[in-house]
Amino acid sequence: MSVVHHPRKMLVTGGAGFIGCNFVRQILGEDPELEIINLDALTYAGHRISLEDVENRHSSRHHFLQGDIRDRKLLAEIFERHEIDTVVHFAAESHVDRSIDGPLDFIETNVMGTAQLLEAARSAWKGRSDARFHHVSTDEVFGSLDENGFFTEETPYDPSSPYSASKAASDHLVRAWARTYGMNVTISNCSNNYGPYQFPEKLIPLMIRNAVEGRPLPVYGDGSNVRDWLYVIDHCRAIAEVVRKGVSGRTYNIGGHNEMKNLEVVEILCDTVDALLPGEKPRRELITFVKDRPGHDQRYAIDAGRIDRELGWTPSVDFEKGLRETVRWYLDNEGWCRAVTEENYGGERLGQG
């Protein structure tokens, strides 16, 4: 049975990261009575600079804390001091290539961290029905599709990488805490996100950066791998709907209805950069095919019918429009790109096994 949940004291984990900072910005703008405690460890992919406008605009309702979700004592203090009634859990190691190079970091954060967070919530809430734990996950837990079909909420899990395996494990933990302890939980599994504030190791911001600087655009394999692309603001709107209106215990798939081969994505991106920042030669000439990623899933595609039918959410931004907005944002925010990468990442390839 669906009961509308009204968050008032929300703990957002990983709220200085890509999707987290966009979600915090979005939901504080929507709900003038909401207060957010934003907990982030500020690893290489999380940065206070991504929250500067939020902290200036919502200083009385946004409280940032630097800390690790594996720190049980810290979590207990946060729940008690701030009377948390809602958790939205983004905090995770999230890059497949990095998981190939260092899988145990992903187990520590994504599995052990989620378990600590669940236990802290369970201990603080003691069976409260008016508190909710929302876990943000990925479509990668389902493995790979062939040319036909879509991932549904009933698709069996079949993860291929250490990253997707760690997220699959955390999904199972959330469901287990709901079934064993009666916690009010929801889960969402989303397709590939893109948009502002994404750390430039991921495909789209990396390609934008390289295209602007005239560097090679590395495409894995033959570029035929297919992904469904979801504009991050659409994703944030969907999460807010699930948190408020989702059925307790239920999973919702969130997709962008923008299924595309990786090579096609890079080609459209090249054309978009050319249009916004003309160069001496077309950026498509920079495309370079490189050795494929180990265990690279061929195709992801989301059936987002449940969230449409039950909550009325559909994506509002088509890929070419969203990509144009994303390219424009990165061109206008070169200072942000330099600030977040200068000590952490130089554009080198990761995850070659």
55 in active site: no
Which of helix, strand or coil describes residue 163?
helix
Q: Which of 139, 228, 234, 241 is catalytic?
A: 139
- Evaluate the CA torsion angle 174, 178, 183, 184 in order and state its sign: positive
Could you tell me which of 145, 164, 114, 271 has the C-alpha nearest to residue 208?
271
Task: Check if 105 is active-site.
Answer: no
**Residue 140 falls in the annotated catalytic set:** yes
The answer to whether residues 86 and 128 touch, using CB atoms and an 8 Å cutoff, is no
Catalytic option among 35, 68, 140, 228? 140
Residue with tokens 């979801």: 230
Alpha carbons 324 and 5: distance in angstroms, whole number: 35
Of the candidates 202, 219, 207, 214, the one whose C-alpha atom is nearest the C-alpha of residue 293 is 219
- Encoded tokens for 74: 């810290």
Query: Of 40, 68, 163, 197, which residue is the catalytic one?
Result: 163
SS (H, E, C) 117-144: HHHHHHHHHCCCCCCEEEEEEEHHHHCC
Could you list the active site residues? 139-140, 163
